[in-house]
Amino acid sequence: MKLWLIMLFVMLAIIAGGLFLESAILKTTNQISRALNDIKEAVRNDQWSQALTSVHELDEKWSRCKDAWSPFIHNHDLDTVTMHLARLKAFLEGTDRGSALAEITNIEIQLLQLRQQEVLSLENVL
């Protein structure tokens, strides 16, 4: 009987941890998406210094998230977002509007894929 209770407790802990991680991922990716929208508007309005400052802040936030998520999420997905952020910084420093907007779109697509992979759904479970 004790073994069953311990197994039940472990299963509940795993489920609660998964739901917490899912919630954290969704919340953070939504915040990053909003920040990317602000950066996109700054680029469109030729506010390069504001966009660059926002990207530096976003990169710091992403580094913290990446460290926390790395045990749970495939590192290739996390590294891809990091690479796109680095490219975005370079395009902003060079005031290359088209390439900067393209990199923002790439980051948004990566975040969407990350969300879809990590959200608890029947498709992901099976």
**For every one of its 126 residues, what pLDDT tens digit does the chain have, with 9 covering 90 and above?**
788 999 999 999 988 888 888 888 889 889 999 999 999 999 999 999 999 999 999 999 999 988 888 887 778 888 999 999 999 999 999 999 999 999 999 999 999 988 888 765 555 555
pTM: 0.81
How many distinct structural domains can be found in the chain?
1
Query: Residue 73 has what pLDDT?
Result: 79
pLDDT of residue 70: 82
- Name the DSSP class of 71: T
CA dist 67 and 72 (Å) reads 10
CB 24 within 8 Å of CB 12: no
In the prediction, which pLDDT does 23 show?
A: 87
What DSSP character marks residue 10?
Answer: H
CB atoms within 10 A of CB 97: 14
Range of the domain at 94: 2-125
> Do you know the residue count of the chain?
126
Kindly report the CATH number assigned to the domain that includes residue 101: 1.20.120
Task: Provide the pLDDT for residue 36.
Answer: 94
